[in-house]
Amino acid sequence: MWFKNIRVYKLTGPLSTDPQQLEAALAEFKFAPCTGQEAVKTGFSFPLHASIKQYLHPMAQGWLFAVKRQEKVLPAAVINEELQPKIDAMAAEQGRSLSRKEKQSLKEELIQTLLPRAFSRSTLTHGYYDAEHNWLVINTGGAGKAEDILALLRKALGSLPALPWLDNHKLNSHLQLWLQNQALPEGFVLGNDAELKAPDEEGAKVKFTNHLLSADEVQSHLQDKLVTKIALQQTEGLSLHVSDDSSIKGIKYHELLTGQNEELGWEDLSLRLDADLLLMSSSLNQALQAIANQLQHANNES
């Protein structure tokens, strides 16, 4: 339940928080396993626990959801091993080498015959809608995966006016300042990781891990490179990496934070999961709001 990598989207209009209406909307697009000839299936699943059969879980300021994706696994080596004899046989029959298009057609036909025998692999991705800040937080660092989830939500809800929560073009200049230990978001200090890249065609890159970022050898790279990722941390809260594409990755939660619900135990699974969810979302929202406030304040002054 503790999100590790996230994509955040700001909504231009509020979403419904009516539990019955939302539950029915998500249930209409619930997950169903792949059939014999299907390579991929995606749908909503139970977000809190498999034993708690609700597609939507209400939160203090919104709701939690989960999307399940199942795909058939066909290793390239297996496909190639069975494909080559078919290519050789057809080439011998026609007395010539096959074109790329013909080989691709044979490959697609082979995949269709192999799909019913392929193993399945499933992943579950959580997200939550926060009505107070009017944003969606999705537990993935991949833009493509997040967009797929947004597309499914649009199908279920009818519309979803979502935009990235930060302006990527303005974010880069703030990352430069943060590496210089200037204008950091409230409650954060500079971490020990950073990545930089030159803006020219060659795009020389440099990466620092567990390094003192105030050191001259790090700061000197600001002369000819742009910061693409930087670590920030709170004293007893979160540590995270902010990337220039506005994603947040490598989120870690201080043990003093994660240990706050230990006294609840796990006898009441729903109660414990709900308590952890509240703790996680509250700490994430606080961190995200601090970052957004700092950028907004800096933009207003410029």
Contacts of 131 (CB under 8 A, 6+ apart): 14, 15, 17, 61, 62
The label of the residue with tokens 């969810």 reads 277
pLDDT band at residue 161, thresholds of 50, 70 and 90?
A: confident
The pLDDT of residue 233 is 95
- Percent of the chain scored above 90 by pLDDT? 53
More confident of the two residues 88 and 230: 230
pTM for the structure as a whole: 0.84
Q: For residue 58, is pLDDT > 80?
A: yes
Does the structure show a pLDDT above 80 at 37? no
95 or 238, higher pLDDT: 238
What DSSP element (H or E) covers 84?
helix 76-94
The edge-to-edge listing of strands for the beta sheet with 205-208 is 205-208, 189-197, 226-233, 238-243, 248-253
Q: How far is CA 173 from CA 48, 198, 225, 302, in A?
A: 39, 14, 12, 12
pLDDT of residue 301: 62
pLDDT at 159 over 90: no
Question: How much is the pLDDT for 235?
Answer: 85
For residues 117-125, average pLDDT? 87
Reply yes or no on whether the pLDDT at 148 is more than 90.
Answer: yes
Compute the C-alpha angle 77/82/84, nearest 5°. Answer: 95
pLDDT of residue 194: 96
pLDDT for the residue numbered 299: 64
pLDDT of residue 43: 96
Structure tokens that stand for 124 in this block: 């579950």
Task: Write the CB contacts of 229 (distance below 8 Å, at least 6 apart in sequence).
Answer: 175, 193, 194, 195, 241, 242, 243, 244, 249
Q: Is the pLDDT of residue 281 over 90?
A: yes
Phi first, then psi, for residue 68 (nearest 5°) are -105, 135
Q: How far apart, in whole angstroms, are the C-alpha atoms of residue 92 and residue 94?
A: 6
Report the mean per-residue pLDDT for the chain.
89
DSSP state of 223: G
Cα(74)–Cα(64) distance, rounded to whole angstroms? 33
Confidence band of 295 (pLDDT split at 50, 70, 90): confident
- Within 103-159, strands assigned E span 119-130, 135-138
Euclidean distance between CA atoms 44 and 155, whole angstroms: 11
pLDDT for 300 = 64
Instruction: Identify which of 293, 280, 179, 297 has the alpha carbon closest to the alpha carbon of residue 238.
Output: 280
What Cα–Cα distance (Å) separates residue 279 from each residue in 222, 260, 284?
37, 8, 9
Per residue in 189-216, pLDDT (tens digit) is: 999 999 999 988 788 999 999 999 999 9
Please give the pLDDT value at position 88. 84
Cα radius of gyration (the chain): 24
Q: How far apart are CA 187 and CA 234, in angstroms?
A: 6
> For residue 241, what are the β-bridge partners?
231, 249
pLDDT at 111 over 70: yes
Residue 302 has pLDDT above 60, yes or no: no
Kindly compute the dihedral angle of the four CA atoms of residues 80, 85, 90, 94, in this order, to the nearest 10 degrees.
Answer: 120
Q: Please give the C-alpha separations between residue 227 and each of 22, 146, 255, 267, 295, in angstroms, as whole numbers.
A: 41, 24, 29, 46, 16
Residues sharing a CB contact under 8 Å with residue 103, sequence separation 6 or more, in sequence order: 83, 87
Buried b vs exposed e over 275-292: b needs ≥16 C-beta within 10 Å?
A: bbbebbbebbbebbbbbb
**Do residues 152 and 44 touch, judged by C-beta distance below 8 A?**
yes
Higher pLDDT, 113 or 53: 53
Q: What is the pLDDT of residue 298?
A: 65
